[in-house]
Amino acid sequence: MSRSTSSWLLLIVSLPTSSATARMRIWRALKALGGVALRDGAYLMPADPEHEQALRRLADACAVEGGKAWLMAARARSQDESSAYCRLFDRSADYAELRRGWKEAKRGLASLGAPDLARLRRKLQREFDAVRAVDFFPGEALAEAEMAWIDLGQRIDGRLAPDEPRQARSRVRRLDAADYQGRTWATRRGLWVDRVASAWLIRRFIDVDAKFLWLARPSDCPRRALGFDFDAAPFTHSAERVTFETLMAAFGLEADPGLARLAKLVHALDVGGEPVPEAQGFEAVLAGARERLDGDDALLDEMSLVLDSLYAHFRRESPRRPGGRR
């Protein structure tokens, strides 16, 4: 939505005094939509088709409760009046409150385990998304909040996955898996999403006899080992790819529909992007397994079963290709 508008929707509702529950339900729905109360029972919103449909549904709900509702189109009479209406929707105070909460959350990150960190990030993400959804005229406050959110996310990632690699070269050279059999592969210990999924991919699709080393520091990687998911490793983040996607591209696995779906899940959890329905569940299982199990070998074994199941599910759900092959 643009930073200003002269077209508005005005919803006026009147409910019986005995309908306290209905009144509260309507008020909460209007607040969730981002409506501004001009006075008791009068709510203003920027005009657009989605807002109009939502307000019509609320008007119908008022009628069901024995009340009345009037939905009207309104126009600002001048640019000054339009600007005044827009200022009613200023979310700066909401963003400031979020940032105060994020600052407080930072102080407690060191005391949280992986499951609590994952839950905290999801909770804070929901709260941030809720404010952004009703910020109809975004400005500097949103930009500042987004920078603060990136900083908080990096701090949480630093607790979940220390030494996360930076993006490397954009081009991935095609390799022959036959030249990479029975090798030792090395990555940072304390496996998290991209590393555990990449280790599974290596063992299932690239080097079935792979041995793994879990490094305290990337600098501990032996010369003969194939490093992955740390800076300067042969296989790591490249351009927009996470390590899982880099390995797929390097070994010609991108056409596999099950792996392609898994790649979207790993990408979303590792660096963000298009939401994947199964991602939150996978992250929760991984966080719980990491709390429960002793060591990365046991973690890889357990999460490999989860990834096997997700892969089978994604393969089954993928549309069939011409000729009847998946």
pLDDT in tens, 7-43: 999 999 998 877 788 888 888 899 899 999 998 889 9
Q: Hey, which residues does 238 pair with through a beta bridge?
A: 168, 241
- The continuous run of DSSP H or E covering 172 comes out as none
Q: Helical H runs in 34-91?
A: 49-64, 79-87
Instruction: Share the mean pLDDT of the chain.
Output: 88
- Give the model's confidence band at 168: pLDDT under 50 very low, under 70 low, under 90 confident, else very high: low
Question: Are 62 and 103 members of one domain?
Answer: no
Model pLDDT, residue 164: 63
Structure pTM?
Answer: 0.55
Is the Cβ–Cβ distance between 10 and 43 less than 8 Å?
Answer: yes
d(CA 105, CA 109): 6
Q: Which of 87, 109, 135 is the last residue of a domain?
A: 87
- Give the model's confidence band at 259: pLDDT under 50 very low, under 70 low, under 90 confident, else very high: very high
Question: What is the CATH classification number for the domain harbouring 71?
Answer: 3.30.70.930
Q: Is residue 171 part of a domain?
A: no
Statement: residue 325 has pLDDT above 60: no
Q: Which of 71, 87, 103 is the last residue of a domain?
A: 87
Q: Is residue 222 part of a domain?
A: yes
Q: Is the dihedral of CA 257, 261, 262, 267 positive or negative?
A: positive
Instruction: Please give the average per-residue pLDDT across 158-173, as a whole number.
Output: 66
Q: Hey, which residues does 39 pair with through a beta bridge?
A: 42
Model pLDDT, residue 4: 58
Q: Is residue 326 part of a domain?
A: no
Statement: residue 50 has pLDDT above 70: yes
Question: Are 58 and 99 members of one domain?
Answer: no
Question: Are 124 and 69 members of one domain?
Answer: no
Q: Is residue 166 part of a domain?
A: no
Higher pLDDT residue, 169 or 73?
Answer: 73
User: In sequence order, what E strands does the chain have?
Assistant: 7-14, 36-39, 42-46, 68-75, 184-188, 211-215, 226-227
Angle at 123 between CA 122 and CA 128, to 5 degrees: 95
- Both tokens of 135, joined, read 């910020």
Q: Is residue 31 part of a domain?
A: yes
Give the least confident one: 146-150, 169-173, 264-268: 169-173
Q: Which of 52, 87, 122 is the last residue of a domain?
A: 87
pLDDT in tens, 284-313: 999 999 989 999 999 999 999 999 999 999
The percentage of the chain sitting over the pLDDT mark of 90, rounded to a whole number, equals 58
Question: Are 195 and 238 members of one domain?
Answer: yes
Q: Is residue 287 part of a domain?
A: yes
Angle at 204 between CA 201 and CA 209, to 5 degrees: 110
Question: Are 189 and 312 members of one domain?
Answer: yes
- Give the model's confidence band at 73: pLDDT under 50 very low, under 70 low, under 90 confident, else very high: very high
d(CA 58, CA 79): 30
Instruction: Please give the average per-residue pLDDT across 159-178, as a whole number.
Output: 72
Nearest to 210 by CA among 235, 238, 173, 241: 235
Tell me how many domains the chain contains: 3
Model pLDDT, residue 166: 60
Instruction: Please give the average per-residue pLDDT across 228-252, as a whole number.
Output: 91
Question: Are 202 and 127 members of one domain?
Answer: no
Model pLDDT, residue 198: 98
Is the Cβ–Cβ distance between 315 and 325 less than 8 Å?
Answer: no
Statement: residue 262 has pLDDT above 50: yes
Statement: residue 248 has pLDDT above 90: yes
- Give the model's confidence band at 242: pLDDT under 50 very low, under 70 low, under 90 confident, else very high: very high
Question: Are 135 and 44 members of one domain?
Answer: no
Full domain range(s) for residue 15: 7-87
Question: Are 147 and 241 members of one domain?
Answer: no
Question: Are 208 and 139 members of one domain?
Answer: no
Q: How would you classify the pairing of strands 211-215 and 68-75?
A: unpaired
3 state DSSP class of 213:
strand
Question: Are 144 and 254 members of one domain?
Answer: no
Question: Are 224 and 281 members of one domain?
Answer: yes
Higher pLDDT residue, 275 or 74?
Answer: 74
Statement: residue 200 has pLDDT above 90: yes
Question: Are 75 and 120 members of one domain?
Answer: no
Higher pLDDT residue, 155 or 260?
Answer: 260
